Amino acid sequence: RHAPTLVVACRVYEQLVPEHPAGLQAAEVAACGWVPLPRLLKEDCAQPLSWSALVGPAGQQWDGWPSVDLHPLLDLEVAPGASSVAIHLRNFSVHSFKLWGLTLGIVN
């Protein structure tokens, strides 16, 4: 007998009309922003993650994983009630956002 298989389908859409997200829920999505589609289409866009350089020694376990730099990150929106995220984002450069892990696997 085979174990059930999880199939995840993901889509990346090109936004043609400028629109801000409405109704973010901190329990689901603490923050989101836009990245130009060509940034994700470059052949060599995935590079090894250097998370410890951003967050310190606690991030070493994630170093080396494939990641895509999400610079330039545009129109960052933070969900109401995600105050700890907002405080963290003030100290976190918009140049530091990465697409990696399960999310990168889904988009890829």
Write the pLDDT tens digit of every residue in 43-86. Answer: 888 999 988 887 789 889 999 999 998 887 787 777 777 765 55
- Residue 73 neighbours by CB distance under 10 Å: 19
Q: Terminus-to-terminus CA distance in the chain, angstroms?
A: 29
What's the pLDDT at 65?
Answer: 92
Cβ atoms of 73 and 93 closer than 8 Å: no
What is the CA angle 97-74-31, rounded to 5?
60
Q: Region 13-23: what's the mean pLDDT?
A: 75
What's the pLDDT at 36?
Answer: 84
pLDDT tens digit string along 86-105? 556 555 665 577 888 888 88
Q: What is the pTM of this model?
A: 0.67
What's the pLDDT at 66?
Answer: 92
Taking the alpha carbons of 90, 96, 100, 103 in that order, is the dihedral positive or negative?
positive
Tokens of 11: 């889509």
Average pLDDT in the chain: 77
What's the pLDDT at 26?
Answer: 74
Tokens of 47: 């590079």
Percent share of the chain, pLDDT over 90: 11
